[in-house]
Amino acid sequence: MNNYLFTILPLWAIYISIVFIIILAVRSGIAYARWRKNRYGIEDDNSINTLVGATLGLLAFILAFTFSLSSSRFDARKSFLLEEVNSIETSWLRAGLIEQPYSEQLQKALVEYTETRLFIIKNPEKVLETIDKATSLQNEMWALLTEMTHNNIGNDEINALLIDAVNTMFDNQTKRVSKGVIDRIPNLIWIALFMLVIIAMFQVGFLLGKTDRANWLLVIALSMAFAVIISTIVDLDSSKGHITVNQQVLYDMYERINVN
């Protein structure tokens, strides 16, 4: 999880850094344009305009592609949350149909399992600890089901339905860990995005440098606009960002199953 960019800096620091990078790239382009103008005189701008347009087109493409990756991951996290909530409650309800003491033990383990989900909402920095706790509870529940099966305890059809629900719950745990923790936008895509941003802004600065005076207010506005888009993508890609999945369905489900 530490092999990704933007995992240490807060979002406001990322935003300011992007603004600074863009302004620096534009400033470098302006300085280079004025240096060429002083050395070579006035040059034909037609080919330069074409190159700048092509680079900005590539930048727009990779921005759209990166935003699509992060938004699809965000949508998947919402979908997997609903699936997991349903599978936990289904397991809890079916656990009530089996014989004691297995029914009480399984339902208690499912309540604790849900509490691990609530814990990580308030303590996202303890994700590894929470995953270990959830895995331990999974092993505990599976040991109870294995004991019931080996000893032929209860109705086989009800036991089969319960095992299927618990298996689905385990699968949803894997999906949520994959999309929420592991599956992030690769660093190579971020590097490509920032390289295109720097190149495109350098070229924009080069065009501005051919004018008598650059409008720095517009340059700052441009840098802030790009920084807003990139910061939004960063936040969407992070499971600990400001744009988060509404967890109300999980709280509601916990209230229904926590009957003690």
* Residue range 88-141, pLDDT digits in tens: 999 899 988 888 888 889 989 999 999 888 888 888 777 788 888 888 988 999
Q: How far apart (Å, rounded) are the C-alpha atoms in residues 64 and 58?
A: 10
Q: How far apart (Å, rounded) are the C-alpha atoms in residues 245 and 129?
A: 21
Per the domain annotation, does 6 fall within a domain? no
- What is the mean pLDDT of the segment spanning 170-188? 81
Q: Please give the mean pLDDT across all residues of the chain.
A: 85
Per the domain annotation, does 243 fall within a domain? yes
Which among 154, 181, 201 has a CA at the least distance from the CA of 33? 201
For residue 58, the enclosing domain spans: 11-257
Q: How far apart (Å, rounded) are the C-alpha atoms in residues 140 and 109?
A: 8
Task: Tell me the pTM.
Answer: 0.77
Per the domain annotation, does 3 fall within a domain? no
Is residue 1 pLDDT above 70, yes or no?
Answer: no
Per the domain annotation, does 131 fall within a domain? yes
Per the domain annotation, does 196 fall within a domain? yes
Structural domains of the chain, count: 1
Per the domain annotation, does 99 fall within a domain? yes
Per the domain annotation, does 5 fall within a domain? no
Per the domain annotation, does 34 fall within a domain? yes
